[in-house]
Amino acid sequence: MTQRQHGKTRQMSRNSGQLIMSPAGVGLIIQRQLLHPPLFAALSSLQGKYIARVRMVVVRGFDIRTMTLQTSADSRSAKMAQLQAHRKSELCLWLPELATQLRLLASWRAITQEGAGHSNQDFITWHKLWQGYSGKSRNLFTGPHPGRPVAMRRHALPNAAATENTDINDPPANFAVLVGRIESIDALYLAQEGHQRYRHRRIADRWETLKINA
């Protein structure tokens, strides 16, 4: 890294210290990150009552007005059922150039082919996300049932729902969009002069901010 790039990174990271002080600032960070995709995050869920699971996902969209996130998944995958059973789960982002960790506790709902038919807005969201997919990403949805051992030969084969659609521009039946309404934010900035941490909690239509350390 050149001296100039070093200076720029330091400046960005200092701005992050300011931005994490408010939910709107955190929203701005996420919005800016999405200008340079892919944005990776770790998504948690609960398997049964006691087992916590976590996996990487790509954050595909964000609405700063409603503080709502979008990611996508195969509707047959385990996380879908887990998030349906326990809707609140955390999405964790590590942004190295900002020296910042964002833990976003969100309430999740899924837009699936069935659901997409019910609301106009959901149908548009479902379609729009699919349109933004590369051919490689689209292929992932025509593969075998995710999580089925290959040993279960017949059951691990691509299912009809995934392969029957003739127009590649139409999302397959197993394509799902996960929409997460952020309920609270735990933002941590690893500053050289000491870590800064803020917690923002959504209460009805306003946000409450708590300074943990700064």
Ligand X SMILES: Cc1cc2nc3c(=O)[nH]c(=O)nc-3n(C[C@H](O)[C@H](O)[C@H](O)COP(=O)(O)O)c2cc1C
Interacting residues toward ligand X by CB under 6 A: 40, 53, 55-58, 71-74, 77-79, 146-147
| Nearer of residues 55 and 211 to ligand X, judged by Cβ | 55
Query: Is the Cβ–Cβ distance between 94 and 83 less than 8 Å?
Result: no
| Nearer of residues 19 and 110 to ligand X, judged by Cβ | 110
| Nearer of residues 117 and 147 to ligand X, judged by Cβ | 147
How far apart are CB 58 and ligand X at their closest, in Å?
4
How far apart are CB 90 and ligand X at their closest, in Å?
14
Tokens, residue 102:
């964002």
Compute the Cα dihedral for 8, 13, 14, 18 and give only its sign. Answer: positive
Q: Which helix (DSSP H) or strand (DSSP E) does residue 28 occupy? A: helix 23-33
Residue among 24, 32, 26 at smallest CA distance from 189: 26
Partnered with residue 186 across adjacent β-strands are: 103, 199
How far apart are CB 95 and ligand X at their closest, in Å?
15
| Nearer of residues 20 and 178 to ligand X, judged by Cβ | 178
How far apart are CB 213 and ligand X at their closest, in Å?
31
